[in-house]
């Protein structure tokens, strides 16, 4: 009887080990298949549009970002205000990326810009702030700063 118990315990342990190993392998495989290297982002992305402020004033908006070797360099133009930032791309699992701002600067900000827009610009320039990018089609959407970036047709032609 005791031998059977031992055999049972041993078999259970063996099954646990085999099962765990399989799960680990499948997890690693899944991660590997889903992980997008930061370099796959490399290239230039941009989008243009318009913005109508609470005052009724219409201004042009342009977003441009360049991804290169795990880093990003971005410029947003809202009317006369220009935000330039740079930093690192943190990870790319399941096509989700996060930008970590390391340097940023805003110029040309006028006093009649809406507070929400000023906040977005200020947040985007602050060292250490993170911007999560949500992909859609061939574009990326900056969740915190409401910026849109779409792949430029020839991203390598800088």
Show Cβ contacts of residue 136 under 8 Å, excluding neighbours closer than 6 positions.
none
Residue 115-154 contact track with another protein, rule CB under 8 A, x = bound: -xx-xx-----------x-x-xxxx---x--x-x-xx-x-
Residue 79-118 contact track with another protein, rule CB under 8 A, x = bound: --------------xx-x-----------------x-xx-
Instruction: Report whether 85 contacts 103 (CB < 8 A).
Output: yes
Reduced to 3 states (helix: H, G, I; strand: E, B; else coil), residue 17 is helix
Question: Does residue 39 bind another protein (CB under 8 A)?
Answer: no
Show Cβ contacts of residue 155 under 8 Å, excluding neighbours closer than 6 positions.
42, 43, 44, 45
Q: Which one of 21, 39, 40, 110 is in contact with another protein (CB under 8 A)?
A: 21
Can you list the alpha helix ranges (DSSP code H) found in 35-153?
A: 115-125
Q: What is the 3-state secondary structure (H, E, C) of 133-154?
A: EEEECCEEEECCCCEEEEECCC
Binding site for another protein (CB under 8 A): 1-4, 6-7, 9-10, 13-14, 16-17, 20-21, 23-24, 27, 47-54, 56, 58, 61, 93-94, 96, 114, 116-117, 119-120, 132, 134, 136-139, 143, 146, 148, 150-151, 153
């Amino acid at each position: 009887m005791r031998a059977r118990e031992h055999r049972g315990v041993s078999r259970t342990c063996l099954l646990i080990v085999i099962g765990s190993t399989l799960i680990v392998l499948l997890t690693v495989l899944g991660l590997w298949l889903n992980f997008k290297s930061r370099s796959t982002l490399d290239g230039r992305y941009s989008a243009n549009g318009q913005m109508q402020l609470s005052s009724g004033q219409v201004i042009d908006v342009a977003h441009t970002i360049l991804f290169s070797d795990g880093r990003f360099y971005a410029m947003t133009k809202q009317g006369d205000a220009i935000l330039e930032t740079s930093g690192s791309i943190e990870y790319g699992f399941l096509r989700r990326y996060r930008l970590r701002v390391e340097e940023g600067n805003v110029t040309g900000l006028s006093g009649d810009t809406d507070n929400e827009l000023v906040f977005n610009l200020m947040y985007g320039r602050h060292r250490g702030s993170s911007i999560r990018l949500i992909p859609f089609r061939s574009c990326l959407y900056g969740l915190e700063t409401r910026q849109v970036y779409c792949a430029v047709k020839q991203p390598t032609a800088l």
